[in-house]
Structure 1
Amino acid sequence: MRRISGRPARTGGDSPVNQRDASRPPQSGKGRARRGRRNHHGQGCEAQPYGAPMNTSLGLTGAAVALGIGLLIGLERERHKGRGDSRTCAGLRTFAITALLGYVAMQVGGSLLLGVMAICVALLVTVVYWRSLNSDPGVTSEVALLTVLLLGAMCGTAPELAIAIGVVVAGLLAYRQKLHHFARSQLSEAEMRDGLVLLIAALVVLPLAPDRYIGPYAAINLRTICTLTVLLMTVGAIGHIAVRTLGRRYGYVISAIASGFASSTVTIASMGHIAATEPDNVKVLGAAALFSNLATVTQVGLILGTVDIGLLRPMWWPLLGGATATALYGLCLMFPRPARGANQPIKVGGAFNLKLALIVTLAMTGITFLSSAMLDRFGEVGVMVTATLSGFADAHSSTASIASLAKSGQLPFDAIAGPMLIAISSNSLSKCLVAWISGGHRFAAYVIPGQILLTLAMWAGTWAQ
């Protein structure tokens, strides 16, 4: 027997594996199949019995979604494709088949086959467009057909997203006349420019602004300044849209209440800017500015109830009194109907004034800087002083901080009314200053008495508690 590397060679008969195989009874082909296979990790994999039914529910669902998208968009195109020689290239059947083609191509051949089908459909669409160039230079149906192909392919992995996009595409196709009328007749050049400025400020400048405090007393935050500027422009745009839709009398009020949940002070500044350019509507704008306080009162109640429902007990009557006084004073400004101004034709102009937005933002930043300087100079002398200084900039943050102190046990529940009303009072003073700066003395003459009435009503509610 030969020796390799000093070890005796083992014959096949002496192998332990062969000995186990020899002692094991023979198995049929089916028995070996039932033993299953082993994967590359050496673990057993249970084999699926031959002839077992496949789970096709997912495939049928995706195909049904693709067919539905194709039928939806194809139905809209069928109604507008025309008749005879002037009809467009695709209708109900073409869109439905194209959606199914995209789904089947993605399921059978993956991205490669889908790309080939997309190229083929694009070539067919190009030929059809070239032949109908003289009668119909548009490419809406052709682009929609390619979109349906891709949406059909998407139905296998993200059917919900495919349905949403399909509905949006069908809506854009169905409302094309109204969209064309809006873009050509309703939307002015100034509104288009202001919309682009707002999008640039919100989507480009704001994310790039650093979110940290700089300068003396660490009171300046560029992200906060940009946020206030964007918010002021947004409030102006919302008010402009509401006025274009509902008219001056009710559009300003509804937009002011909705915008007041973001910032009542910014809303008052926006209404003041509009009053400076529309002096005939100063009374209605003053009412709208005051109605934004309803959002402030409501939000204070929501903050207290969110922190602890028991915090609403000492503030129930002050909040109710402030809301009632604001609503009554605002209705007195709105009614009776003014003799002129609110019924005049709406002048289409810009949606907001960027220069005024920057001025108001810098004024609010100056108030914040002054509050920080006072706190640094005199120190923490109690919750009252802190609430007074922070209330100049924002009543909501003061409310949240006071509620947190009460929730943690550092301040009794019955003692929150005093510092909270001081914060709201200082915020009312800040709103009066903003109203004077943004809208002038005529606008401030309507806003300041309403703010004083709101403050007195809330203090009276505390005394009547």
Structure 2
Amino acid sequence: MVPPATSPEWLTPLFLAGKEADVTALFGRLGMAALLGFLVGMQREHSEWGMPGLRTFPLITLCGSVFALLGLSFGGWLPAAALVCLVGLLFFPHYLRIRRADPDPGLTTSVAVILMYGVGALLVLTRIEVGVVLGGAVAVLLQFKPEIHRFAEKLGDEDLRAIMQFVLITCIILPVLPTRPIDPLGVVSLFNVWLMVVLIVGISLGGYIAYKFLGTRAGVYLAGILGGAVSSTATTISAARQAGSDRAQQNAAAVVILLASTVMIGRIFVEMAVVNPAMLKTSVIPLSILAVATYLPANFLRLPQDRDGTRLIAEHQNPTQLRSAIYFA
């Protein structure tokens, strides 16, 4: 079966009409399918006793590869029928577990089984990197279940709102904006302008999340670095207010403000590298001098509070304030 001429570049079947199959490459892909299945099965064997594990998952990925290869010759109905049979086999263990005292059978392993079947098919039908990345992602998601749940539990309503706002401006608004210039001079592109909004909000949101999960345990230096990643202006105001109410914290507040300003210069580097890389050649020296001149006083103001755990943490609000980002863009 010859793939259509309009197939995307990454969709390159291993067997092409009129060419002899590369047996070495075929066994390499099948071996990778078994390896990824073994990796996921080892994780499931360790965490979910009584579910598909170390032997079953390699068989599932190999099953996906074999039926995908057969589908090239006999039609796509064959791997689809095999998938239906696999789903049917998964139903009976769930049915038995539901009838027991514990009515929660859990769907994670079953979804992983179906997904690894698809990974096995991708490994022989597409560029091998696609299947490897997906298979590795499945193993990582399964392994870091406690950390993912703790992350979700720490997020409040405002944090979720900030993340969803970032998804809105990145995944919904940005793709539909025109890339062609809209002005008579051919300079202003709505896509490029909004890309700057996404960049600014993304940097602030990333710093805010790091601040939220590390800031409560951070000392003075980390408070300044993370605060600068979120908002150097907000960090400066908050640190100054805390220093005004506690004179013993004045030097610590100065360190936080200087570090936040230094990180702000680093943010300028990132934004210039994305928007106009050519400007870096003329700007790297003056910006570097400014960053060093801003950082050195903070280095000389190293305080005993840094060693005994005194914390000066600026309080930040939702960083996805679109108005300021749009003004800057």
Q: TM-score, normalised by structure 2?
A: 0.70
Q: What SS is found at the alignment partner of 1:92?
A: coil
Rounded to whole Å, the distance in 1 between the matches of 2:46 and 2:94 is 19
**Residue in 1 aligned with 2:120?**
152
| Cα offsets for 1:367-409 (capped at 9, x unmatched) | xxxxxxxxxxxxxxxxxxxxxxxxxxxxxxxxxxxxxxxxxxx
**Residue in 2 aligned with 1:120?**
85
Rounded to whole Å, the distance in 2 between the matches of 1:342 and 1:225 is 42
**Residue in 2 aligned with 1:64?**
31
Rounded to whole Å, the distance in 1 between the matches of 2:186 and 2:26 is 60
Matched, 1:170 2:139: yes
**Residue in 2 aligned with 1:289?**
261
Which structure has the larger Rg?
1
Rounded to whole Å, the distance in 1 between the matches of 2:269 and 2:201 is 23
1:233–1:353 CA contact under 8 A, matched in 2: yes
Matched, 1:332 2:293: no
**Residue in 1 aligned with 2:64?**
102
Are residues 291 and 102 of structure 1, via their aligned partners in 2, closer, same or farther at CA, if it must alter by over 3 Å?
A: closer
**Residue in 2 aligned with 1:272?**
233
| Cα offsets for 1:50-88 (capped at 9, x unmatched) | xxx985223322221221121111111111222xxxx33
Are residues 193 and 117 of structure 1, via their aligned partners in 2, closer, same or farther at CA, if it must alter by over 3 Å?
A: same
**Residue in 1 aligned with 2:46?**
79
**1:92: Cα distance to partner?**
1.2
**Residue in 1 aligned with 2:7?**
none
Rounded to whole Å, the distance in 2 between the matches of 1:146 and 1:61 is 22
**Residue in 2 aligned with 1:431?**
none
Residue correspondence of structure 1 range 288-327 to structure 2 within 5 A: 288-293=260-265, 303=278, 319=285, 323-324=288-289, 326-327=291-292
**Residue in 2 aligned with 1:235?**
203
**Residue in 2 aligned with 1:181?**
150
The amino acid of 1:200's aligned partner reads L
Rounded to whole Å, the distance in 2 between the matches of 1:109 and 1:77 is 29
Q: What SS is found at the alignment partner of 2:140?
A: helix
Larger RCO (alpha carbons 8 Å, 6+ apart): 2
**1:200: Cα distance to partner?**
0.6
Residue correspondence of structure 1 range 19-58 to structure 2 within 5 A: 56-58=23-25
2:227–2:314 CA contact under 8 A, matched in 1: no
The amino acid of 2:24's aligned partner reads S
| Cα offsets for 1:145-198 (capped at 9, x unmatched) | 1112121122212332112111110111111111111112x2222111101101
Q: TM-score, normalised by structure 1?
A: 0.51
Consecutive unaligned residues in structure 2, runs of 5 or more: 1-17, 244-252
2:201–2:325 CA contact under 8 A, matched in 1: no
1:238–1:255 CA contact under 8 A, matched in 2: no
Rounded to whole Å, the distance in 1 between the matches of 2:29 and 2:195 is 43
Rounded to whole Å, the distance in 2 between the matches of 1:68 and 1:235 is 37
**1:142: Cα distance to partner?**
0.9
Identity between Structure 1 and Structure 2 (%)? 19
**1:303: Cα distance to partner?**
4.4
* Count of equivalent residues: 282
**Residue in 2 aligned with 1:374?**
none
The amino acid of 2:292's aligned partner reads A
Matched, 1:137 2:109: no
Rounded to whole Å, the distance in 2 between the matches of 1:234 and 1:342 is 30
**1:294: Cα distance to partner?**
5.9
Matched, 1:198 2:166: yes
Are residues 276 and 224 of structure 1, via their aligned partners in 2, closer, same or farther at CA, if it must alter by over 3 Å?
A: farther
| Cα offsets for 1:404-453 (capped at 9, x unmatched) | xxxxxxxxxxxxxxxxxxxxxxxxxxxxxxxxxxxxxxxxxxxxxxxxxx
The amino acid of 1:78's aligned partner reads E
Rounded to whole Å, the distance in 1 between the matches of 2:94 and 2:293 is 64
The amino acid of 1:101's aligned partner reads C
Rounded to whole Å, the distance in 1 between the matches of 2:280 and 2:326 is 30
Matched, 1:253 2:225: yes
Root-mean-square deviation over aligned CA pairs: 3.9
**1:254: Cα distance to partner?**
6.6
| Cα offsets for 1:12-58 (capped at 9, x unmatched) | xxxxxxxxxxxxxxxxxxxxxxxxxxxxxxxxxxx99xxxx985223
Matched, 1:208 2:176: yes
Rounded to whole Å, the distance in 2 between the matches of 1:125 and 1:231 is 44
